[in-house]
Amino acid sequence: MGYALPVQTVTIFEVGPRDGLQNEPDFISTEDKVKLVNLLSDSGLKRIEVTSFVHPKWVPQMADAEKVLATIRRVPGVLYNALVPNLKGLERGIAAGLSEVVTILSASESHNRKNLNMSVAESLKELELVNKRAKESGIRVRSYIGTAYGCPMEGFVDPQKVLEIALALEEFGSYEISLGDTTGMAHPKSAYEVAWLVKGNLKRAALAVHFHQAEGIEFANVLASLEAGIDIIDSAAGGLGGCPYAPGARGNIATEVLVEMLHRMGIETGVDEQKIREASRFAKSLSRYFRSEGSHGNATGH
């Protein structure tokens, strides 16, 4: 008997230019950001999170969001999107001509308060308005649920709460939900169970997973998610996204390794292995984390 997975094709949602770069301490030039997005577009990836319309006071690295979006070379068939943390961000996204935006909240109260300065209920209220305004403008919304597999402050996060939030977001009109393992706390059992529960209860929305590095456990989480029928996976070229000053903030799962793993298993991604490696090398060259590898960092990005 062969090992049968319910998934033959995976869509990779590339978050490197946004989630990967946003914590970089040195400002990366607009030109280099554009070059990274163009390399990623050329690799065969179909969905790329380009930037974030967050206030530059909070994330100075993303201050050139409009400029990056206006300068990238748009490859037909590739969906370019940006994170919008609130209505203000959405208005900037609309002005920039986006057809898809990404929103975020956390399943854990403490983490949501720390990150967004709101309760989960308050966040949902804001996101309902964001979804409504996006719909009026013909923009699709993808929604992240952070700390879906555990919270660094609260520990256990009830999968039932994750499900409730996912159903609310679906009700608001989000076409896709992405479950975020914000600080790398998921394990294959929780990865399978949370995905199975949420996927089994969503009526229209698609479900994606977003894992962070956990010394290899992240790839076991990918496999468990595939077994639960997940076929959309978030990742960042080079595994970027770690924060040099916050030991808990680990990098994203590395796109080039994810692609290689899926291809070895006979799962199609549409991504060219050599081209994604090239994009990942360039992504790493932009990161202080990887540049300082020899002195105090390490090769896995955390």
Q: In angstroms, give the least distance from the CB of 4 to Mg ion.
A: 30
Q: Is 243 a catalytic residue?
A: yes
The residue among 37 and 94 lying less far from Mg ion, judged by its C-beta, is 37
Q: Which residues bind Mg ion (CB under 5 A)?
A: 19, 252
Of 63, 220, 243, 261, which residue is the catalytic one?
243
Residue 4's CB: how many other CB atoms inside 10 A? 6
User: Which parts of the chain are beta strand (E)?
Assistant: 11-14, 47-52, 79-83, 100-106, 140-146, 176-180, 206-210, 232-235
Stretch (H or E) spanning 40: helix 30-42
Residue nearest Mg ion (C-beta atom): 19
Rounded to a whole number of angstroms, the minimum distance from the CB of residue 34 to Mg ion is 21
Shortest spacing between CB 67 and Mg ion, in angstroms? 23
Nearest approach in angstroms of CB 185 to Mg ion is 13
Question: Cα–Cα distance between 147 and 153 in angstroms, integer?
Answer: 10
| Distance separating alpha carbons of residues 62 and 59, to the nearest angstrom | 6
Residue tagged 């456990």 (tokens):
217
**Residue 58 CB partners (closer than 8 Å, separation 6+):** none
Residues in the chain, overall count: 302
What is the nearest approach in angstroms of Mg ion to the Cβ of residue 138? 27
- The burial class, CB within 10 Å (0-12 / 13-18 / 19+), for 173 is middle
Shorter beta-carbon distance to Mg ion: residue 52 or 131: 52
Task: Give the containing element (helix H, strand E) for 301.
Answer: none
Q: Tell me whether residue 86 or residue 182 sits nearer to Mg ion (CB atom).
A: 182
Residue 157: exposure state from Cβ atoms within 10 A (0-12, 13-18, ≥19): buried
Q: Which is nearer to Mg ion, 19 or 170 (CB)?
A: 19
What's the closest the beta carbon of residue 38 comes to Mg ion, in angstroms?
22
Cβ proximity to Mg ion: between 20 and 44 the closer is 20
Gap between the Cα atoms of 219 and 266, Å rounded: 16
Extended beta strands in 153-258, E state = 176-180, 206-210, 232-235
Nearest alpha-carbon partner for 250 in 178, 181, 177: 181
Cβ nearer to Mg ion, comparing 61 with 252: 252
- Measured in whole angstroms, how far is the alpha carbon of residue 285 from the centre of its chain? 21
Catalytic (active-site) positions: 243
